[in-house]
Amino acid sequence: MKVIRTIDELRSELADGRSSGRGPVGFIPTMGYLHEGHGSLMELARKQSGTVVVSIFVNPIQFGPGEDFETYPRDEQRDLSFAKSKGVDIVFLPSVNEMYPQPTKTKVSVSELTSLLCGASRPGHFDGVTTVVNKLFNIVKPDFAYFGMKDAQQVAVIEQMVRDLNLDVKIVPCPIVREADGLALSSRNVYLNDEERMQALVLSKSLQDAVDGMHKGILTTAGEVREQLTSAISKAPLADIDYTEILQFPDLVSIPDDAELETIENAIILALAVKFGETRLIDNILFQPKAGA
């Protein structure tokens, strides 16, 4: 496995791979502190690509003032062993100065899809994501790029950017990997103390209960689903709700409270963001109202 820190060196390594016919390039952008959620993306990329590239870069421009850019968990040595164990060919580990030698005057911005959910709570966040992902795509020129559905809005936004800008890459959304008790894996889980970690189970449980309620016909409208999610999460004393939403996916069109869910043709996403102490966690689940109809 090669560890590369500069754009020039990465470009020349990938050009060598292309000229010697190493097959498609699969790319997994990450912010490091790798876990089995990232691992699942790497494993899929390993199956589908000749060269697997992982980037590890905590991107300052997607963090707002007062967010956790400085304290975001980092462990380079552990990440390198993890990537190696997953059969990754190249880890790209640029410095902030390598990616942004001067403050960027150019930003890539996707409208509408970024004005709600995490975009509403984290103004400018998605501009930071789409700008860095665009830069990374231009550097790596991947055939496939792998993104986790834990960040479902990010998947929707990046797919929109790829369509709108005719980027020559196929986005591969990957399922959420969870702990045995249901908590979605996230680098930020390391911030949780024991009590917060226990109460954070309310996220996956409330989502699953809501989907069960929809399947059984107990929850029939979007309003009932919102109410059920909010009331279930509020029972955890440490939970501070940022949003509980129900929308169509991937266009992220909000569903009015009185809408009967069985009339909706598209996939539905139930999405949550909840703070436990200083730690903001997100989770979501997809539901197909017409499945099996």
Ligand X SMILES: CC(C)(CO)[C@@H](O)C(=O)[O-]
Ligand Y SMILES: Nc1ncnc2c1ncn2[C@@H]1O[C@H](COP(=O)(O)OP(=O)(O)OP(=O)(O)O)[C@@H](O)[C@H]1O
- 125 catalytic residue (yes or no): no
- Across 118-129, b (16+ Cβ under 10 Å) vs e yields bbeebebbbbbb
189 belongs to the binding site for ligand BAL (CB under 6 A): no
CA distance 149 to 96: 26
Stretch that binds ligand X, among 27-35, 75-83, 168-176, 282-290 (CB under 6 A): 27-35
What residue 94 binds from ligand BAL, ligand X, ligand Y, none (CB within 5 to 8 A, per partner kind)? Answer: none
Question: Contact between 186 and ligand Y (CB under 6 A)?
Answer: yes
Annotated ligand binding at 186? The verdict is yes
Q: Is 148 in the site for ligand Y (CB under 6 A)?
A: yes
Gyration radius of the chain's alpha carbons: 20
The correct pick among 4, 10, 25, 31 for binding ligand Y (CB under 6 A) is 31
Contact status: 125 vs ligand Y (CB under 6 A): no
Would you say 124 is a known binding-site residue? no
Q: How far apart are the first and last CA of the chain?
A: 48
Residue choice 79, 151, 224, 245 for contact with ligand X (CB under 6 A): 151
Count, residues near ligand X per rule CB under 6 A: 10
**Which of these, 162, 147, 181, lies nearest to 110 by C-alpha position?**
162
Q: Which of 62, 131, 279, 284 binds ligand BAL (CB under 6 A)?
A: 62
230 residue type, one letter: T
- Taking a C-beta distance cutoff of 8 angstroms, is the pair 186, 281 a contact? yes
Sheet-wide strand order for 90-92: 2-4, 90-92, 51-56, 25-30, 144-148, 170-174
Q: Which of 18, 46, 188, 275 binds ligand Y (CB under 6 A)?
A: 188
Q: How far apart are CA 168 and CA 166, in angstroms?
A: 6
Q: Which residue is nearest to ligand BAL (CB)?
A: 151
- Interface residues with ligand Y (CB under 6 A) are 30-31, 37-38, 40-41, 147-148, 150-151, 174, 176-177, 184-188
Residues designated catalytic: 38
